[in-house]
């Protein structure tokens, strides 16, 4: 009997391997094969398939967006396609989403190789990391002025063009269920791209099978984001009562650019009252410079870069605040770029996790994404919004203020959800939208709480409320 069980187990394993590999062998296109990654430098052996390369989205300007597809570990043909976007604006989905959040690999401290992330989201989905707009990461434009006059509108249109063209290259994904996900300024990118897809689908003979979106610590509404951020600072004792009252009385939180008086108050709060903290997780140690100081490129609402100039290495409770530095070394290696089919045109600047040029020259920003939420709800999309509750850059208070403005009817009242018998956070389900917090997570939720993030992602894909026990 034991021998028969062993035989059956081996037979099932062989079937899994057969169907996993044969689904690729019989359906891949020539273009797709040219983008196949055989192996990355220092990569451990894996069973899943990877592809990366460029899709041209504007031929005249020579704008091309870089992608990295890591397929599901088992039966990828039965799994949905999940597109991940990072924010900034100007930050790389390869540096953050792929390399320190939801991707299958982590970069080691010497940047000499990779190790596996056991909480990778490609255990349940095919992950497509997109570096958008042109000028982010390996994505580029041959018209240099593009880097100084881009914004929300072009980013959404180019990202739609990318998806349409990418589907032609990967036709086996054309009818696959698709979800858009991301964090931070992707709170703009993701809903705006979803709106573009909804409009495209009305007139296309080959609509994209978009089923839903999920965004975390998402920039949503200028007024409520700014009000909620200042409120978070005060409620978490980061600023004094005096500074809080001055900010409330002086600043017009709905303006894209504040008055000089308001800006000076922001500067005073950050320079004199915050202290040496990591604003992306106020309870974690910062990655310090060699002189003992901490640098941060955080300036305010329109300049939110999840990026810190890093030189030394510190670690606590499995969180390493210096992981971004490892990425900047690894992805500038010529052998890594060759393996990724990246930088084929020899871009005249180094690969960076975030582009300061793009960020500081961002042209157009929608004041509020809430009208798009109403469109997505009307369009029947599944919408989840989550928030790491120790992030002071796009804090949970900002997100709650913004979502409250939608005035949605509650379906499932506020309750704690669980991960391995511990409270993972709190959640409430509304008509058309689910909101969830992740307890103890900073700005990059999957980096700080990888198990909880994966649990949440699985519930999102199933369309089920988060576990109550």
CA atoms within 13 A on the CB side of 160: 20
Q: Please report, for residues 119, 188, 371, 399, the alpha-carbon distance to residue 383 in angstroms, rounded to integers and kept in the order given.
A: 22, 14, 14, 14
In this prediction, residues 298-306 reach a mean pLDDT of: 33
pLDDT in tens, 132-186: 999 999 999 999 899 999 999 999 999 999 999 999 999 999 999 999 999 999 9
Mean pLDDT to the nearest integer, 114-120 = 96
Is 80 exceeded by the pLDDT of residue 28? no
pLDDT at 3: 54
| Residue positions counted in the chain | 469
pLDDT at 309 exceeding the cut of 50: no
pLDDT band at 27 (very low <50, low <70, confident <90, very high): low
- Lowest-pLDDT range, 27-41, 74-88, 358-372? 27-41
The per-residue pLDDT for 321 is: 65
Supply the pLDDT for residue 319: 53
At residue 320 the predicted structure's pLDDT band, cuts being 50, 70 and 90, is low
Higher-scoring residue by pLDDT: 310, 221: 221
Own/partner long-range contacts of 107-111 (Cβ < 8 Å, ≥24 apart): 107/323, 107/326, 107/327, 107/330, 108/42, 108/326, 109/313, 109/320, 109/326, 111/326, 111/329, 111/330, 111/333
Q: Is the pLDDT of residue 373 over 60?
A: yes
Q: What local confidence, expressed as pLDDT, does residue 258 receive?
A: 74
How much is the pLDDT for 15?
45
Helix, strand, coil share of the chain (percent; to 5): 40, 20, 45
For residues 199-206, give the mean pLDDT.
94
For residues 36-51, give the mean pLDDT. Answer: 96
As a whole number of Å, the end-to-end CA separation of the chain is: 37
Residue 316 has pLDDT above 80, yes or no: no
The residues assigned a catalytic role are 184, 391, 443
Name residue, tokens 């062998």.
Answer: 25
Query: Closest Cα partner for 218 from 244, 261, 184, 193?
Result: 184
Average pLDDT, the chain: 87
**What is the pTM assigned to this prediction?**
0.88
Give the confidence band of 468 by pLDDT, cuts at 50, 70, 90. Answer: very high
Kindly tell me if the per-residue pLDDT of 72 is higher than 80: yes
**What's the rounded Cα separation, in Å, for the pair 85 and 141?**
19
d(CA 54, CA 130): 10
Check pLDDT > 60 for residue 440: yes
Q: What percent of the chain has pLDDT over 90?
A: 75
- How confident is the model at residue 223, as a pLDDT? 93
Who's near 149: CB < 8 A, 6+ residues apart? 361, 363
| pLDDT reading at 297 higher than 80 | no
244-259 pLDDT tens trace: 999 999 988 887 777 8
Residue 11: pLDDT band by 50, 70, 90 thresholds? very low
- The DSSP result for 336-351, as a single string, is HHHHTT--TT--SS--
DSSP string, 263-306: HHHHHHIIIIIS-S--TTSTTSPP---TTS-------SGGG---
pLDDT value at position 288? 64
Residue in the structure block whose two tokens are 């998402």: 218
The whole-number pLDDT of residue 26 equals 42
Neighbours of 276 (CB within 10 A): 11
Q: What is the mean pLDDT of residues 11-20?
A: 44
List the alpha helices (DSSP H) in 170-209: 186-203
CA distances from 117 to 102, 123, 337 (A): 8, 10, 21
Q: 96 or 320, which is more confident?
A: 96
Percent of the chain clearing pLDDT 70 (strictly above): 87
């Amino acid at each position: 009997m034991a021998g028969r069980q062993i035989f059956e187990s081996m037979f099932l394993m062989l079937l899994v391997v057969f169907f996993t590999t044969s689904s690729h062998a019989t359906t891949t296109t020539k273009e797709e094969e040219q983008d196949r990654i055989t192996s990355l430098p220092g990569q451990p052996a894996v069973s899943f398939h990877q592809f990366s390369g460029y899709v041209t989205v504007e031929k005249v300007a020579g704008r091309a967006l870089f992608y990295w597809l890591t397929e599901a570990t088992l039966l990828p043909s039965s799994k949905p396609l999940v597109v991940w976007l990072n924010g900034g604006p100007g930050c790389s989905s390869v540096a953050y989403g792929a390399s320190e959040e939801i991707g299958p690999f982590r970069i080691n401290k010497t940047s000499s190789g990779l190790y596996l992330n056991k909480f990778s989201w490609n255990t349940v989905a095919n992950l497509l990391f997109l570096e958008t707009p042109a000028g982010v990461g390996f994505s580029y434009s041959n018209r240099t002025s593009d880097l100084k006059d881009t914004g929300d509108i072009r980013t959404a249109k180019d990202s739609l063009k990318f998806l349409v063209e990418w589907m032609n290259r990967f036709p086996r994904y054309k009818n696959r269920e698709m979800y858009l996900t991301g964090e931070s300024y992707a709170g703009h990118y993701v809903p705006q791209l979803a709106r573009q897809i909804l409009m495209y689908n009305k007139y296309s003979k080959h609509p994209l099978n978009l089923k839903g979106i999920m965004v975390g610590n998402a920039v949503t509404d200028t007024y409520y984001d700014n009000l909620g951020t200042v409120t978070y600072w005060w409620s978490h004792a980061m600023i004094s009562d005096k500074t809080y009252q001055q900010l409330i009385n002086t600043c017009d939180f709905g303006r894209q650019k504040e008055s000089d008086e308001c800006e000076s108050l922001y500067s005073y709060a950050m320079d004199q009252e915050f202290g040496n903290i990591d604003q992306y997780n106020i309870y974690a140690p910062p990655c310090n410079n060699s002189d003992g100081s901490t640098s941060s490129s955080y300036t305010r609402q329109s300049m939110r870069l999840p990026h810190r100039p890093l030189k030394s290495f510190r670690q606590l409770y499995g969180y390493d605040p210096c992981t971004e530095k490892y990425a900047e070394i690894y992805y500038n290696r010529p052998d890594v770029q060759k393996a990724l089919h990246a930088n084929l045109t020899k871009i005249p600047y180094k690969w960076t996790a975030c582009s300061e040029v793009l960020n500081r020259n961002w042209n157009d920003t929608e004041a509020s994404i809430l009208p798009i939420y109403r469109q997505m709800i009307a369009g029947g999309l599944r919408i989840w919004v989550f928030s790491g509750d120790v992030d002071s850059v796009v804090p949970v208070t900002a997100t709650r203020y913004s979502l409250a403005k939608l005035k949605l009817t509650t379906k499932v009242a506020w309750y704690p959800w669980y991960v391995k018998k511990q409270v993972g956070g709190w959640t409430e389900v509304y008509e058309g939208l689910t909101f969830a917090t992740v307890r103890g997570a900073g700005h990059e939720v999957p980096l700080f709480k990888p198990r909880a993030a994966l649990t949440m992602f699985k519930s999102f894909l199933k369309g089920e409320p988060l576990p109550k026990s």
